[in-house]
């Protein structure tokens, strides 16, 4: 028996919501989990692109693979050891670009294995296991649930989460550069401690962001999409980021420009009319720095993970 699931990419942080907010977007990985035909054959992990061609990504394909680790925790949760499994990851989400590709495969592996096992784990358990493997819940929860999700990793390992409806008229334009940035590197430049002033700056903006979404208030959104906890430190890793923010700051219909997750991709939130006004501008700033990028304007994915 085998199960395949389709899991969206996600954009974490959205400016002020470092490690606690994220939104699902319509780029997808497909993860298939099947029990191996021959017992004792161990674990096999296949990485393929969307045309089913083998991919040579620099990720472990043994028991150190994060998908396998997550599935093993699920088996442990039900008091069993993981069976011999074949895991196939069909990759439609660019890796190491701040688009939640690791969360997507962790969630995909868990949901597929949970189906195979007859659904012993509920959503809360799946989220908690996935977060244990990923380290933070802000990509995990939108990958699973779709839409915009707030999440808080609690001291006991559980995750409190709430999904809010993302206003359809707020378009998400994602600029994905041709270079990779490992989340571990992007986290290594963050300070251990921040000032009370900066912490309060972000608390205020998280509060504004939630209310802006609930009331579809784009003026409030513009004020909310600022951050002092991670972007200022990460800017030095992403050439052109500060210039891009400045260049579109006063464009009518643009509500804000933030790092997508840990970067290097960049997210612009805007109305649909202004999209043409900033797409070429950003493309050019990066081209002048010898960086090519793909860009796409989309709405949020509201479905999250689906079994196909
Ligand atoms: N919240 C995480 C970060 C997202 O900014 O490091 C990346 O996985």
Check pocket membership of 19 for ligand 1, CB cut-off 6 A: yes
Report the CATH number at residue 37.
3.30.230.10
Q: At what angle do helices 241-248 and 275-288 cross, to 10 degrees?
A: 150
Could you tell me how far CA 185 lies from the centroid of its own chain? Answer: 16
Asked if residue 105 and residue 248 are part of one domain, the reply reads no
Asked if residue 144 and residue 9 are part of one domain, the reply reads yes
Task: Give residue 291's pLDDT.
Answer: 98
Pairing of strands 293-298, 17-35: unpaired
Q: Give the Å distance between the CA of 141 and the centre of ligand 1.
A: 13
Q: 24-38 burial string, b = 16+ CB within 10 Å, else e? A: bbbbbbbbbbbeeee
Q: Give the Å distance between the CA of 2 and the centre of ligand 1.
A: 31
Asked if residue 145 and residue 49 are part of one domain, the reply reads yes
> Which of 143, 152, 262 to probe ligand 1 with, by most ligand atoms within 8 A of CB?
262
Q: Give the Å distance between the CA of 199 and the centre of ligand 1.
A: 17
> Which of 11, 98, 99, 136 to probe ligand 1 with, by most ligand atoms within 8 A of CB?
136
Number of domains in the chain: 2
Measured in residues, the chain has a length of 308
Q: Which domain holds residue 41?
A: 2-165+301-307
Ligand 1 atom nearest to CA at 230? 5
> Which of 9, 10, 138, 229 to probe ligand 1 with, by most ligand atoms within 8 A of CB?
138
Task: Give residue 112's pLDDT.
Answer: 98
Asked if residue 211 and residue 72 are part of one domain, the reply reads no
Residue nearest to atom 1 of ligand 1 (CA): 19
Q: Give the Å distance between the CA of 138 and the centre of ligand 1.
A: 7
Ligand 1 atom nearest to CA at 259? 5
CA 235 to CA 213: how far, in whole Å?
Answer: 26
Task: Give residue 82's pLDDT.
Answer: 85
Asked if residue 23 and residue 69 are part of one domain, the reply reads yes
C-alpha torsion 78→44→103→181, nearest 10: 150
CA 256 to CA 174: how far, in whole Å?
Answer: 12
As given in the structure block, the two tokens for residue 196 are: 């009370």
Mean per-residue pLDDT pooled into runs of 10, the chain (308 residues):
96 98 98 84 88 86 91 95 90 96 98 96 98 97 98 96 97 97 97 98 98 98 98 97 95 97 98 95 97 97 97
Residue nearest to atom 6 of ligand 1 (CA): 262
Asked if residue 208 and residue 226 are part of one domain, the reply reads yes
Task: Give residue 35's pLDDT.
Answer: 86
Ranges of H-type helices in the chain? 66-77, 101-116, 123-134, 140-145, 183-188, 196-215, 218-224, 231-234, 241-248, 275-288
Asked if residue 175 and residue 125 are part of one domain, the reply reads no
As given in the structure block, the two tokens for residue 142 are: 């939108």
Asked if residue 190 and residue 44 are part of one domain, the reply reads no
Is residue 45 within 8 A of residue 62, CB to CB? The reply is yes
Task: Give residue 199's pLDDT.
Answer: 98
Asked if residue 94 and residue 11 are part of one domain, the reply reads yes
Asked if residue 293 and residue 222 are part of one domain, the reply reads yes
Asked if residue 190 and residue 63 are part of one domain, the reply reads no
Report the CATH number at residue 266.
3.30.70.890
Asked if residue 158 and residue 178 are part of one domain, the reply reads no
């Amino acid at each position: 028996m085998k199960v395949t699931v389709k899991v969206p990419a996600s954009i974490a942080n959205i400016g002020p919501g470092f490690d606690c907010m994220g939104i699902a977007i319509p780029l997808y990985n497909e993860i298939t989990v099947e029990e191996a035909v021959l017992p004792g054959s161990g674990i096999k992990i296949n990485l393929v692109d969307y045309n089913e061609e083998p991919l040579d990504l620099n990720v472990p394909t043994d028991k150190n693979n994060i998908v396998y680790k997550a599935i093993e925790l699920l088996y442990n949760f039900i008091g069993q050891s993981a069976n011999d499994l074949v895991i196939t990851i069909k990759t439609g989400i660019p890796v190491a670009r701040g688009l939640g590709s690791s969360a997507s495969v962790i969630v995909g592996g868990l949901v597929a294995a949970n189906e195979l096992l007859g659904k012993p784990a509920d959503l809360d358990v799946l989220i908690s296991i996935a977060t244990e493997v990923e380290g933070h819940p802000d990509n995990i929860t939108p990958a699973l649930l779709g839409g915009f999700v707030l999440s808080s990793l609690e001291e006991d390992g559980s995750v409190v989460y709430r999904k809010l409806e993302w206003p359809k008229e707020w378009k998400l334009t994602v600029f994905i550069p041709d270079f990779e940035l490992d989340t571990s590197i992007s986290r290594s430049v963050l300070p251990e401690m921040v000032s009370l002033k900066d912490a309060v700056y972000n608390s205020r903006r998280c509060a504004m962001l939630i209310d802006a979404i609930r009331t579809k208030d784009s003026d409030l959104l513009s004020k909310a999409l600022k951050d002092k906890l991670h972007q200022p430190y990460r800017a030095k890793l992403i050439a052109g980021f500060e210039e891009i923010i400045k260049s579109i700051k006063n464009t009518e219909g643009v509500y804000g420009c933030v790092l997508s997750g840990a970067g290097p991709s960049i997210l612009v939130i805007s109305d649909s009319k202004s999209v043409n006004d900033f797409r070429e501008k950003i493309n050019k700033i990066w081209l002048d720095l010898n960086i090519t990028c793909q860009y796409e304007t989309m709405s949020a994915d509201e479905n999250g993970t689906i079994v196909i």
